[in-house]
Amino acid sequence: MRRSRFLVSLPSFYYFPCRFSVSVPISSGETELPSINVTIFTFLSFSFSITHQISLKMVGMQNFTGVEAATKKVDDKKFINFHLARLVRGEDRRELDDTGFACHRAFHSVHCVSTKPVRIDTRNMTVYVPSDNEWENETVVRPYPWQGYAVNEISHVRIIQYSNATAPPPCDFRHRVPAVVFSSGYIGNTYHEMSEIIIPLYITTRHFQSRVAFVVEDYKPSFFAKYNAIITRLTAHEVINPAANAAAVHCFPASVVGLKYHGILKVNSTDIPGGYGMPEFKRFLREIFSLTYSHVSEIPRPRLLLLSRTKSRKFLNEDEMIAMMQEVGFEVVVVRGSNLATMARLVNSCSVIVGVHGAGLTNDVFMAKGGVVVQVEPLGTEWISKVMFGDTARAMGLHHLLYKIEEEESSLVKLYGRNSSVVIDPASVYRGGGYMTARAVFIDQQNVKINLARFRSSIVEALSIVTD
């Protein structure tokens, strides 16, 4: 038997479920265990059956007999394969059609799709995929996009394409929906959580209408507590934490390992099943959190949300800024962190959001269309300010105003000296020490004292946009 090994190394840098419980016997291998209570999810979905245009379906552990079982199996298989195939294109799509397995590799991400039944051994996070080849092939991926310096926090998942001569481990649990395997390893920052997990998860799974099961490597309870409202709209099933199921082998009719990624806070309608883009994602969030405003013109009075920071990149003259904004004509709301639902409603109720470059600006995903993002750009953050929040705000239907601070507005002048290369040539810090060295200076050590006379013009412009 010949084995080949392929290691993928990434570069550094409506459908509403209803639940009810029943008592059913659970089988583990050849042994029947005592009955336990399990939650069954029901929901309305579109059937691919020729004889049934709309049917009420049950997704969970359930038995069907006769014609009903055969029809159900065909409908599920068509539904699964149709939506899985939409995750890959070109040569990858042809490979999936020919072999039942394909991986799409982009610069910052990889996701592998199997339309064949798979077995996932959660003891070592190995996915077994049957193959028609006579030899065994192994692919290793880290199921998380844009890993950068967080790469060591993301665990590997092995995908083994096995031949008929190989006996994979037997199933402990059988599922009737595809598995989606991803990592929640790098969290604690709203920007990374939203850009690298939530949005890719939406892109990968929204078109399945909740008919997927999530298998989450590097499971972090705090992440799922924070984003529970979103997660439960994308899957009607309990999330599988491999660390809590160390001895289990889960069997699925198909799988996706890794998430489809379009880029920083991006949903590209030309490369997504169904053709929906960032406006649809924002509508999805608005429905989840019952947000009031879809367009800034609906907000009754000019309201400005100031993102106040308590660590690095603080506003050193925040009180004076607030007084100036009120004088211009805004009701000012100051926020220093909040739970996701509360933040979503606060942001949605404001026509303007102001903040220093940082993760807090990611909350502009909750803003009503036509709102204004005023981003304060500290020294040494030119490129990331534009790419992370400038380009993305415009793609969301928002206006973006950039306030680039002058040297005298940065605390780095006092720390390093007015004539230091840190102040007069920030790019030299990147060239000399790389991103992590530059980050330690410009992101972690810098605060700003806003020139109120200069900044006032940006606030006046923001007011004119939202009151025009």
Q: Which pLDDT tens digit goes with each residue over 12-36?
A: 333 333 333 333 333 333 333 333 3
Q: How far apart are CA 116 and CA 135, in angstroms?
A: 17
Q: Using CA atoms, how far apart are residues 133 and 37, in angstroms rounded to an integer?
A: 42
pLDDT > 80? residue 148 = no
Cα–Cα distance measured from residue 307 to residue 419, given in angstroms and rounded to the nearest whole number: 31
Pairing of strands 372-377, 399-404: parallel
State the pLDDT at residue 46.
31
Q: Which two tokens stand for residue 318?
A: 């925040």
Please compute the mean of the pLDDT values over residues 435-442 and round it to a whole number: 94
CA distances for 324 relative to 159, 361, 406, 454, 456, angstroms: 58, 21, 19, 11, 7
Q: What is the mean pLDDT of residues 150-158?
A: 85
In the β-sheet with 18-24, what is the strand arrangement from edge to edge? 18-24, 36-46, 54-59
**Residue 409 has which token pair?**
């507005």
Domains (ranges, CATH) in the chain?
3-277 (no CATH), 289-467 (3.40.50)
Who's near 359: CB < 8 A, 6+ residues apart? 189, 190, 191, 192
- Is the pLDDT at 147 greater than 90? The verdict is no
Q: How far is CA 401 from the centre of its chain?
A: 26
- pLDDT tens for each residue of 363-419: 999 999 999 999 999 999 999 999 999 999 999 999 999 999 999 999 999 999 999
Residue whose token pair is 């007084």? 323
Q: Which H or E element spans position 323?
A: helix 318-328
Cα–Cα distance for residue pair 132/155, rounded to 1 Å = 28
Q: What is the pLDDT of residue 82?
A: 86
| Confidence class for position 188, pLDDT limits 50, 70, 90 | confident
Residue type, 199: I
The CA distance from 205 to 201, in Å, is 6
Total-model pTM: 0.82
| Structure token digits, residue 425 | 């040539």
